Structure 1
Amino acid sequence: MDERERSGDAVLSIGDLAERTGVSTATLRTWETRFGFPEPVRRPGGHRRYTERHVAEIGVVLRLRAQGLGVHAAIEQARTTATAPHQSIVGALRATHPHLRSQPLSKRTLLALTHAMEDESAARAQRPVLFASFQEARFYEVASRRYADLARTAERVVVLADFDRHGSVDETPVRVAVPPDSPVRREWVLVCQSATHQACLAGWEVPGQAGVPDGDRRFETVWSTAPDVVLAAARACTDILAAVGDEDVRILAGELAVRWDGEPVRAADPQSVTGLLDRALHYLDAR
């Protein structure tokens, strides 16, 4: 634990922790005895207290357990996954779902998949939260009318790029400026999270492509319609907002993080893959 967590932030009793996470105090004590997790902070009076970081770690354990991991393996992964917020959406998906296969795609193909995912979101998702990363503001400007249209029926749309400044959180879409040293500046991302439809794609631009025509640029890409994968992508996007945003954007990130913690694990919808691929083929054939 860092000094911040050893002091004023450690305010939760084990009963509070059980209430926040839904894990009984008996189970928490068993985990601590067997695995040294969660490790409490000892206050000067000898009281054992816990922090929001513990809440986040236990949330990761529960999600991994729901995916079939054993308790020990889930705890070990949670210790590394929850302790440091993700700074890359692609990196987050590789860390939380290492089984995902990456495919090298040209930006031309990536755009077709992006448009297909946007269309499926408009057709199937009820009041979705959408995150989209465009690398550069000029790429977003090309799509700005499309995203204004998507925002009309979305609960929230957040777009990330090398904007000069953050936009107002009262605007829609919300523009978030990404600094030059952020890994997100190399990423092309779309995440759709809703109760009725989930989908995400994340592409990492391969280095050494100076002079390559824009449509031919290559991206190592992962994509999925599995609800647990999409939720992990939404959490990663929220981490990014908290890391790069101004005060208002960080408040928005906090609100979204609370929402994701309460999000149920949904069953996958096989039809979502079929619809997405049908639309992607249409866009590719039209080029």
Structure 2
Amino acid sequence: MNTAHPTLINAAETLPAASARAMDSWWFTARLQAEDTVFWAKIHTMTMHDAVHSTVAFFQEPDGHTSQLRSIDSPGTVTLSTDCFDIRTPLLGMAGDLNKLELTGATDSASAQLTLRRDEPVLYSGGSGIFPFFGGTTGQYALPGLTTSGTLTADGTTYEVNGRTWFDRQWVSPGTHPPRFTWLGLDLGAGRYLSVWDTTGDGTSWLTELTADGTHIITGARRTESNGVWTLTVPSLDGILEITHRRLSAADVGFYGGVCTVTGTLAGDTVTGHGYTDIIG
């Protein structure tokens, strides 16, 4: 699937790993359903400081299974292809292209085998896919609404699951100071997605909206918090979104990874949806 949009990167060519990057990241988080059971799944790997960091996490609703596993491996002990998208570590596997991806991941008590298909445009953050990042630059694009099917096994029970996955591809050039940010990826249905960055720490944010026809809108936003609930106000889009979030990944020093539910209004429409958040610093 191709949608004409001028960018500074080629999404297909930058999908595989590149050895020269200070940080290279492939981040998948999904909302999956099997009848009345909802699973959230995160499968993530990144190269940083001459090591390959892998994370797999699962969370089941209502009040069910939760598990997580991490590994840090040397590049020589994993598959990390620079010719095509093919990554395999002790915890996970990722392979395919922009239109179809195969994804696996396992913890001590759960595992998933998923097929992801794309039928919507690519979201290029900032419109171009490149933007300043803490004294350096970063490339970032997303396949935010991948149609997902497969199996998920938790505590010995295997479920046939369907849902949607947000795939975020990012790489970073060396910067002059450590990153500190809150990021939100919001799936609001009907082909409408928001990728939101707050790099100031005070709620001042900017976002990229992707619509079903491939249009990108880059604008400012304001995020406030009351009783643990975020309100994201987007004046130029006539938007007010209430975002509840809860932790998906276990606590790390200086890091929070969560999943979100969203309600509110955008451009005069009532919207509901879900999303994901990463907070560093």
Structure having the higher Rg:
1
TM-score by length of 2: 0.26
TM-score by length of 1: 0.25
Greater helix percent: which structure? 1
Greater strand percent: which structure? 2
